[in-house]
Amino acid sequence: MIVLYAFGPAFGLPDPSPFVMKTQVQLAMAGVPYRSERGAPMTAPKGKVPYIHDGEDRLGDSTFIRAHIEKEYAFDFDEGLSAEQRAQAWAIERMLEDHLYFALIHARWMDDENFAKGPAHFFDAVPEDARVATRSQARERLRQNLIAHGLGRHRDDEIVELGAHSLAALSALLGNKSYLFGDAPCGADATAFGMAASILTPFFEAPLRRRAESHANLVAYRDRMMQQYYAKAANQAA
């Protein structure tokens, strides 16, 4: 059975990572059974979470995990989509993962209050004498990552504007459909759900969240998919 290494529920979400939620939803879409364990970047094949173990296979990165499910479990996440729609789905994913994600990270890690109530707690288990230093080193590493990406070179309000542009694009692409390409969810819906849920969580106060909330169709989409893929787990836990 697949073992999915994740962070575990946090910030009012099934997982603080949009990439973990994407993989959880894709495993559910494919009907592939798995069990979850706590993972950590330092034990991950590519230094990031999520990653999976499936027999002898050890794979990092949500996109390669998806490819593994498609190949090993003969499941096409984009069944019924034309070649053009598949290309659009890929472009949407890249916008969300390689652009919008960094605006999300900026909102969580670079805002002092959000950092203190959220990511700072990732380091609570670090021995007390090293905790403060470890926290601020991790935050500084994230700041440098944002600068290397490019988004972190802009002013805070400019970062929000750029992120909001991607949110508006996602909302326009979704329109009044249930899912990105119609009545049935495809692979990119898992990505879009993970990112929308991460930004919309009421746990963090952020201008980016307010901009996401201004798109009623994105809020309804998050609610619909949360209900569809997580209600059973929530009911079992209750």
Q: Which residues bind ligand GSH (CB under 6 A)?
A: 17, 19, 41, 47-50, 61-63
Closest to 191 measured CA to CA, from 10, 3, 17, 58? 17
To ligand GSH, the closest distance from the beta carbon of 23 in angstroms equals: 7
Phi–psi pair at 15, nearest 5 degrees = -160, 145
Q: Which two tokens mark 180?
A: 């990105």
With vertex at residue 225, the alpha carbon angle to CA 219 and CA 230, rounded to the nearest 5 degrees, is 125
3-state secondary structure of 211: helix
Q: Pairing mode, if any, of strands 34-38 and 2-6?
A: parallel
To ligand GSH, the closest distance from the beta carbon of 94 in angstroms equals: 11
Q: Give whichever of 63 and 178 is closer to ligand GSH, judged by the CB atom.
A: 63
Q: Give whichever of 11 and 230 is closer to ligand GSH, judged by the CB atom.
A: 11
Q: Give whichever of 171 and 198 is closer to ligand GSH, judged by the CB atom.
A: 198
Q: Give whichever of 203 and 217 is closer to ligand GSH, judged by the CB atom.
A: 203
To ligand GSH, the closest distance from the beta carbon of 195 in angstroms equals: 11
Position 73, amino acid: Y
Q: Give whichever of 50 and 163 is closer to ligand GSH, judged by the CB atom.
A: 50
To ligand GSH, the closest distance from the beta carbon of 218 in angstroms equals: 20
To ligand GSH, the closest distance from the beta carbon of 235 in angstroms equals: 26
Those residues whose C-beta lies under 8 Å from the C-beta of residue 184, and which sit 6 or more positions away, are: 80
Q: Which two tokens mark 50?
A: 């999520």
